[in-house]
Amino acid sequence: MPDLYGVLGVSPGASDDEIKRAYRQRARELHPDTNDGDPVAEARFKEVTLAYEILKDPERRARYDRYGPEGVFGPGARGAPGGNPFDFEGGLGDIFEAFFGSMGGMSQRGRRQGPPPGADVEVALQLEFAESAFGAQKDLSVRLPVRCDTCDGSGARPGTQPIRCPDCEGTGEIRRIRQSLLGQVVTAGVCSKCQGLGEMIPTPCTDCRGEGRRTEDQHLVVDIPAGVDHGSTQRQAGRGAAGPRGGATGSLFVHLAVKPDERFDREGDDLHSRLEVAMTQAALGFDATVETLEEPKDLHIAPGTQSGTVLRIKGAGVPHLRGRGRGDLFVHVEVQTPKGLDARQEQLIRDLAQERGEPVDAGRERVLSRLRSAFS
């Protein structure tokens, strides 16, 4: 059994206010709602809650100070004799609400106010490479629940109105009081009669059968902004499924797939392309014409350009998705070695190699020399 004062992080001489402040701080830190259901945090939350329940009561605190854990958990003491003192009856949400009341809105946790919202809808959309770069308007056909025009989403037949649920009196929940280790605890659950909506429809709409919505094929036009990339998702608020009985409409999530362009590779907002140049062009230089996302552009290849050289065309990439400007186009030069030379072309290159003092393979001259030697 841990030290109750140590659990709260206070000294044995702490005042009631110090104990109360310490508990509130620790409980907020360890509450399951802020720790994604972490079982360790949940166990520690139980500890600090029980420690506070004991130490805030002058009589029980006095017994604990005098006799230790046996004074509050032993036979005849208020607690759970013979069992784990940290096993609570009821859920953690009930314990938290019992201590904190409406502080921070926690007492409303789990309460359903009015009709639930509609579901989010997900669709896949394929774009051409240029559409992803410059944006586009795309048509979509989606089958989803939409608000019923006949009853305007109320679910009630025209000329009639929903009525308040008699069981929950319009709150959408049923509250019960029960006894636990901590005293009276108020619990709340969804009203089974109205399914948490707080109202009932005695005369349902004949078109939607009281649902307040109907499933129909919808034609949607989606605006795709310039600069989107493959695998990104666009959220269209309020274009998903309509909620029942006038509930809020969900969102439409459009997952984008961009067709590749054989001319370009994309990295962020920059584009990369390849330019094949002949050996003579790379050696002597020339003005090349390269493809861009828009019109072709002239690019000067300087004399002596080596294979692997990267040349930049500023602002010829993809427009920035958020903000002004564009990325750049990087052209990767690939110098091609000539193949299939005829005798004259080969001799010209041999002469160049000899002039530059660059050793080369003897080639066909060596073969002819060997044949002459074989027949002489």
Burial 105-114 (b: 16+ CB within 10 A, else e): ebbeeeebeb
CB 100, CB 27: distance < 8 Å: yes
In this prediction, residue 257 carries a pLDDT of: 95
In this prediction, residue 91 carries a pLDDT of: 44
Q: Are residues 315 and 217 in the same domain?
A: no
Q: Are residues 289 and 231 in the same domain?
A: no
Q: Which domain holds residue 358?
A: 343-375
Q: Are residues 238 and 370 in the same domain?
A: no
Q: Are residues 45 and 167 in the same domain?
A: no
Q: Are residues 126 and 215 in the same domain?
A: yes
In this prediction, residue 94 carries a pLDDT of: 46
In this prediction, residue 30 carries a pLDDT of: 81
* CATH code, domain with 123: 2.60.260.20
* CA dihedral for 247, 251, 252, 253, sign (positive or negative): negative
pLDDT in tens, the chain (376 residues): 568 888 888 888 889 989 988 988 888 888 766 776 677 777 788 888 888 888 988 888 888 888 777 777 655 554 433 444 444 444 444 444 444 443 333 344 444 556 888 999 999 999 999 999 999 999 999 999 999 999 999 999 999 999 999 988 888 888 887 765 555 667 778 888 888 888 899 999 999 999 999 999 999 999 999 999 999 999 999 999 999 988 899 999 999 999 999 999 999 999 999 999 999 999 999 999 999 999 999 999 999 999 999 999 999 999 999 878 999 999 999 999 999 999 999 999 999 999 999 998 876 555 555 555 656 5
The one-character DSSP state at 108 is: G
Q: Are residues 271 and 174 in the same domain?
A: no
Coil vs helix vs strand at 85: coil
Distance in angstroms (rounded) separating the CA atoms of residues 8 and 246: 47
Q: Are residues 17 and 69 in the same domain?
A: yes
Q: Are residues 151 and 241 in the same domain?
A: yes
Q: How many CB atoms lie within 10 A of CB 253?
A: 16
- In the structure, how many helices (H) and strands (E) does the chain have? 10, 15
Distance in angstroms (rounded) separating the CA atoms of residues 347 and 98: 98
Q: Are residues 179 and 292 in the same domain?
A: no
The pairing of beta strand 199-200 with beta strand 233-236: unpaired
Q: Are residues 99 and 9 in the same domain?
A: yes
Closest CA to 97 of 188, 197, 179, 7: 188
Q: Count up the domains in the chain and report the number.
A: 5
Q: Are residues 362 and 293 in the same domain?
A: no
- Helix residue ranges, H only, the chain: 4-8, 16-30, 39-55, 58-67, 70-73, 92-100, 129-134, 279-284, 343-356, 364-375
